[in-house]
A and B are shown apart, each in its own frame.
Chain A
Amino acid sequence: MRVMAQMAMVMNLDKCIGCHTCSVTCKQAWTNRSGTEYVWFNNVETRPGQGYPRGYEDQEKWKGGWTLNRRGRLALKGGGRLQKLATIFSNPKLPSISDYYEPWTYDYSTLTDAPAQKHTPVARPKSLITGKNINIAWSANWDDDLGGSIDHGHKDVMLKNIADKVKFEFEQTFMFYLPRICEHCLNPSCAASCPSGAIYKRAEDGIVLVDQDRCRGWRMCVSGCPYKKIYFNHKTGKAEKCTFCFPRIEVGLPTVCAETCVGRLRYIGLMLYDADKVLEAASTTDDHGLYEAQRGVFLDPNDPTVMREAEAAGIPRDWILAAQRSPIWALINTFKVALPLHPEYRTMPMVWYIPPLSPVVDIVRDTGHDAEDGENLFAAIEALRIPVEYLAELFTAGDTAPVDAVLRRLAAMRSYMREINMGRLADESLAAAVGMTGVEIQDMFRLLAIAKYDERYVIPPAHAEQAHSLEELATECSLDLEGGPGMGGSGPFGEGSGVPTPIAVENFQMLKDRQTSDSVVETDHRRGRTNLLNWDGKGKPPGLFPKSHDNKPKDDSAQSDSPGADS
């Protein structure tokens, strides 16, 4: 047994109202830079719908994730190292910008600068790629609320197996929202696809990150990720992805998307798992067995053996306690209502979902029946196969049994709690019908409906013995940071030596620099160095050439963006 800890998320889809607050706050925090205009680490897609980028789930087309080869061994669907090497300079399995969308902005200044004219001025859309007027024909969320379903609905990859049953008719309408971030998989195919070894899974909490110094921009990770949650920054020429907001997680704060979620549908917590079992679980022959196989990888944090092994593996005591209190453990294992997104990709994803009961409830209610009644709901789950089969395509590789079981538990809870709210006697047979006791139903209700911030997000902070944070926070001058008056900068032997600046204590000036700078190159002239590996080939970062003595020193902020424009 090799115990490892994984930071994981569960989203309760019944609560998602599709407001996109998570997407907007995430983008504002992480990808509001040039080169990442089209990048949405977090997006919310309407299902049925194509998602973002469109049709990303079609692995016959994109070859993302893992597959079992003829010998039953796990292999990258996109091909192994040899094939990667052979196609390294022309990787055809990439979504093009038209699969994402051509990002745009508006000439807002017209609204205030336009001269007196016959018509009131309007801001026209301008492409962020060409700078020219654009006829908007696709966006990051074109099919929101089933918009354009007549032209595009059938392109939903999930409909392939149930196309004859899903009719895009008004009377049969159902929909729900699916918010997505990086899955921070236990068996990440993006990392396995990278020829440079730039993608790594952090040992302490399992967060998957791209090392910006090692990334060479081959984009094999974009192809390799079946969820298409790695994006190529076309300004820096490097891959970027959702970081699970690790600077926030390290200090015990939830991710930006979870913190700002209006519906409070996200849960964050630790899962302990046996790293030795991952490969075997991911190699499960039957796609339908992958959900249970992944559950089998998780370790019970209350088991004394597991606790002992975890401590032996160097997992701090308070992390083990946090794993015991983890809402993720409760939702996946105790209550068994959370399911993984596309287990058939065999990456062992770690952002799980509670499938929505609302498509069923809505139909029961719209037909004039009591949508809080347990018998009605159970019968509807039996009868309404279309939403259930669709959910199974997403969460259980098409196996409807686990989805049925979850929906029945949610229905039982709804009905059981209604009786209590109405001051009537609770119906214990409802709980028994789904294999639970009334007390368990009430505990589940508490976690799903009442749980406050500190119970939805059980995040132990990073440890001093694991990071340099304590040293940086407590034993050094708090202003002794890059860009701060202490001007600590890098260590005495150049970049890579000394202690990195913790991003959690990034100061305002650095944040502003990072968000407004055109390049990832550190422009602080005091450091007098340029990391050529990070240089995007544009402009002339200070330090690239020795200072000219003929001219007066140039202002750093005035560096040109076009090569050779001033020399």
Chain B
Amino acid sequence: MPKLVVVERDYGAVAAKMAAVGPLMDTLGATTKGVTFTLDKEINYLRQKNGTVRGGPADGRPSLARDVDACEAILAMSGTTNGHLATQGFETLEKRTGVKLADLAAEHEGKRITFADTQGPPVPVITSPEWSGSEAGGRRYSPFTINVERLKPWHTLTGRMHFYLDHDWICELGEGLPVFRPPLSMSALFGEPKIGQTGEMGPGGELGVTVRYLTPHSKWSIHSEYQDNLFMLSLSRGGQTIWISKEDAAKVGIHDNDWMEAVNRNGVVVARAIVSHRMPEGTVYMHHAQDRLIDVPIAETSGQRGGIHNSLTRLMIKPSHLIGGYAQLCYAFNYLGPTGNQRDEVTMIRRRSQEVQY
């Protein structure tokens, strides 16, 4: 059972509180990956850097009134951009782990990267316990080098790399060691048609083909850059697309750049076809996170706006996903949740009316 804390909210004061660094930072510091950072110096620094709020619920706190203020606060409170904090964090970690670490950040202890620094050329970050790699001495980042080279214990029950998970539920599922699991049969589980089958779908009884539906990241978007600016759209197809093999396209009369509709039990997507021999028969993919605001028409099937790559996917949870509070099997945002099993989906796809409505 996780620890539950009652929080009282004064909703009229939320905006004022959001625009200032809160008081709990003074007493609790900030914790990430089990390392608590003391922030008293940083809070005082931010008072000087951003100015202090006068009056109201956040009286006396460092201001976060402007976007730049928020950036300064983030940069001041992260070890990767504040050498003092990185060293402090490693010293804390040295006490916990008994291995020497602080020297990794000591070369930059006095260094602080401000917002102005980030507006010039790219600035390398400082090695910090927030991450598992070392960039000390100008080396390039690689994950887990601190664990491997400095013998910092891994965040597991044994402190070692774990391949065997001796949790009762996992053992019961036969997954104590990594095992191959074939894709789920969507036809057996949810009554979807079998892969490779063609059949009538759509308002006019058009022929559709059932294919495996994958949503990989594209080569030029997510995390560091977006594909949906005018230049990048001019260098691609100018809207959302689904890649399909020539064999599947031929089965249902789809040509390159045709409007298609993909439908399964979860939803509908309208996109243009990219027919290529680069795709194997039986599989289509729709690149992750194309912009639904760009040239997405109304779907014939639903009468609604065409949908995005995730319109056809849904998370599926099995018992092992629900394990928590057990050493490395603890839930944290973005760190342990259901695995990407929703990326293993099937859909029926067909050529739709080329007269699209918006």
Taking the complex as formed, is B246 at the interface, i.e. its CB lies under 8 A from any CB of chain A?
yes
B231 touching A28, Cβ below 8 Å: yes
Taking the complex as formed, is B123 at the interface, i.e. its CB lies under 8 A from any CB of chain A?
no
| Interchain nearest-CB distance for A489 vs B (Å) | 32
B219 touching A18, Cβ below 8 Å: yes
Taking the complex as formed, is B348 at the interface, i.e. its CB lies under 8 A from any CB of chain A?
no
Q: Which residues of B sit under 8 angstroms from A124, Cβ to Cβ? A: 295, 358
A168 touching B277, Cβ below 8 Å: yes
Interface string of A123-165 (1 = CB under 8 A from B): 1110000000000110111101111111111000000000000
B256 touching A151, Cβ below 8 Å: yes
Say which one of A104-112, A303-311, A437-445 lies at the interface with B.
A104-112
B292 touching A122, Cβ below 8 Å: yes
Taking the complex as formed, is A119 at the interface, i.e. its CB lies under 8 A from any CB of chain B?
yes
Report the bound CA distance from A147 to B256 in whole Å.
8
Taking the complex as formed, is A20 at the interface, i.e. its CB lies under 8 A from any CB of chain B?
yes
A150 touching B219, Cβ below 8 Å: no
| Interchain nearest-CB distance for B56 vs A (Å) | 31
| Interchain nearest-CB distance for B259 vs A (Å) | 10
Q: Which residues of A sit under 8 angstroms from B279, Cβ to Cβ? A: 170
Report the bound CA distance from A506 to B162 in whole Å.
59
A17 touching B232, Cβ below 8 Å: no
Chain B: CB-nearest residue to A38: B234
Report the bound CA distance from A259 to B292 in whole Å.
33
A170 touching B245, Cβ below 8 Å: yes
Q: Which residues of A sit under 8 angstroms from B358, Cβ to Cβ? A: 119, 122, 124
| Interchain nearest-CB distance for B95 vs A (Å) | 35
Q: Which residues of A sit under 8 angstroms from B232, Cβ to Cβ? A: 20, 24
Report the bound CA distance from A147 to B273 in whole Å.
9
Chain A: CB-nearest residue to B305: A119
Report the bound CA distance from A81 to B230 in whole Å.
41
Report the bound CA distance from A501 to B241 in whole Å.
47
A151 touching B293, Cβ below 8 Å: no
Taking the complex as formed, is B31 at the interface, i.e. its CB lies under 8 A from any CB of chain A?
no
B236 touching A139, Cβ below 8 Å: yes
Taking the complex as formed, is B298 at the interface, i.e. its CB lies under 8 A from any CB of chain A?
yes
Q: Which residues of A sit under 8 angstroms from B257, Cβ to Cβ? A: 136-137, 148
| Interchain nearest-CB distance for B39 vs A (Å) | 35
Tell me how many residue pairs across A and B have CB atoms closer than 8 Å: 116
Interface string of A58-100 (1 = CB under 8 A from B): 0000000000000000000000000000000000000000000
A144 touching B235, Cβ below 8 Å: yes
Enumerate B216-264 residues with CB–CB distance to A below 8 Å.
219-220, 225, 230-239, 241, 243, 245-246, 249, 255-257
Taking the complex as formed, is A19 at the interface, i.e. its CB lies under 8 A from any CB of chain B?
yes
Report the bound CA distance from A120 to B249 in whole Å.
30
Taking the complex as formed, is B276 at the interface, i.e. its CB lies under 8 A from any CB of chain A?
yes
Q: Which residues of B sit under 8 angstroms from A142, Cβ to Cβ? A: 237
Taking the complex as formed, is A325 at the interface, i.e. its CB lies under 8 A from any CB of chain B?
no
A119 touching B304, Cβ below 8 Å: yes
B220 touching A19, Cβ below 8 Å: yes
Interface string of A195-224 (1 = CB under 8 A from B): 000000000000000000000000000000
Q: Which residues of B sit under 8 angstroms from A150, Cβ to Cβ? A: 246, 249, 256, 275-277
Taking the complex as formed, is A540 at the interface, i.e. its CB lies under 8 A from any CB of chain B?
no
Report the bound CA distance from A125 to B237 in whole Å.
11
Taking the complex as formed, is B274 at the interface, i.e. its CB lies under 8 A from any CB of chain A?
yes
| Interchain nearest-CB distance for B247 vs A (Å) | 9
Taking the complex as formed, is A465 at the interface, i.e. its CB lies under 8 A from any CB of chain B?
no
The range of chain B's interface size is 35 or more
Report the bound CA distance from A152 to B276 in whole Å.
10
B278 touching A149, Cβ below 8 Å: yes
Q: Which residues of B sit under 8 angstroms from A139, Cβ to Cβ? A: 233-238
A122 touching B234, Cβ below 8 Å: no
| Interchain nearest-CB distance for A126 vs B (Å) | 11
- The one of A20, A24, A123, A151 that contacts B295, using a Cβ cutoff of 8 Å: A123
| Interchain nearest-CB distance for A129 vs B (Å) | 13
- The one of A19, A23, A24, A147 that contacts B243, using a Cβ cutoff of 8 Å: A147
Taking the complex as formed, is B22 at the interface, i.e. its CB lies under 8 A from any CB of chain A?
no
| Interchain nearest-CB distance for B236 vs A (Å) | 6
Chain A: CB-nearest residue to B227: A20
Which residue of A18, A139, A145, A147 has the most chain B CB atoms within 10 A of its CB atom? Answer: A147
Taking the complex as formed, is A33 at the interface, i.e. its CB lies under 8 A from any CB of chain B?
no
Taking the complex as formed, is B29 at the interface, i.e. its CB lies under 8 A from any CB of chain A?
no
Chain A: CB-nearest residue to B275: A150
Taking the complex as formed, is A103 at the interface, i.e. its CB lies under 8 A from any CB of chain B?
yes
Chain A: CB-nearest residue to B221: A19
B278 touching A106, Cβ below 8 Å: no
Taking the complex as formed, is B23 at the interface, i.e. its CB lies under 8 A from any CB of chain A?
no
Enumerate A168-198 residues with CB–CB distance to B below 8 Å.
168-170, 173, 175
Report the bound CA distance from A106 to B225 in whole Å.
19
Q: Which residues of B sit under 8 angstroms from A149, Cβ to Cβ? A: 275-278
Q: Which residues of B sit under 8 angstroms from A120, Cβ to Cβ? A: 292-293, 305
| Interchain nearest-CB distance for B13 vs A (Å) | 30
B235 touching A125, Cβ below 8 Å: no
Q: Which residues of A sit under 8 angstroms from B297, Cβ to Cβ? A: 122
Report the bound CA distance from A17 to B233 in whole Å.
17
Taking the complex as formed, is B336 at the interface, i.e. its CB lies under 8 A from any CB of chain A?
no
Which residue of B234, B236, B296 has the most chain A CB atoms within 10 A of its CB atom? Answer: B234
Taking the complex as formed, is B280 at the interface, i.e. its CB lies under 8 A from any CB of chain A?
yes
Chain A: CB-nearest residue to B246: A150
B238 touching A136, Cβ below 8 Å: yes
Chain A: CB-nearest residue to B357: A119
Q: Which residues of A sit under 8 angstroms from B235, Cβ to Cβ? A: 20, 23-24, 44, 139-141, 144
Given that A23-B231, A151-B255 are known contacts, is A122 also in contact with B238, CB under 8 Å in the complex? no
Query: Which residues of A are at the interface with B, using a C-beta cutoff of 8 A?
Result: 17-20, 23-24, 27-28, 44, 101, 103-106, 111, 119-125, 136-137, 139-142, 144-153, 168-170, 173, 175
Query: Which residues of B are at the interface with A, using a C-beta cutoff of 8 A?
Result: 219-220, 225, 230-239, 241, 243, 245-246, 249, 255-257, 274-281, 292-298, 304-305, 358
Q: A122-B292, A149-B278 are in contact. List 20 more A-B contacts (CB 8 A).
A: A20-B235, A24-B235, A103-B234, A106-B295, A111-B293, A139-B235, A139-B236, A141-B234, A141-B235, A146-B277, A147-B256, A147-B276, A149-B275, A149-B276, A168-B277, A169-B277, A170-B245, A170-B279, A170-B281, A173-B278
5 A-B pairs with least C-beta separation: A168-B277, A148-B256, A136-B238, A147-B274, A141-B235
Offer 26 A-B interface pairs, CB within 8 angstroms, sorted by A: A19-B225, A23-B235, A24-B235, A101-B234, A104-B238, A106-B233, A122-B296, A122-B358, A123-B294, A124-B358, A136-B239, A139-B233, A139-B237, A144-B236, A146-B278, A147-B241, A147-B256, A147-B276, A148-B257, A149-B277, A150-B256, A150-B275, A151-B256, A153-B277, A170-B279, A170-B280
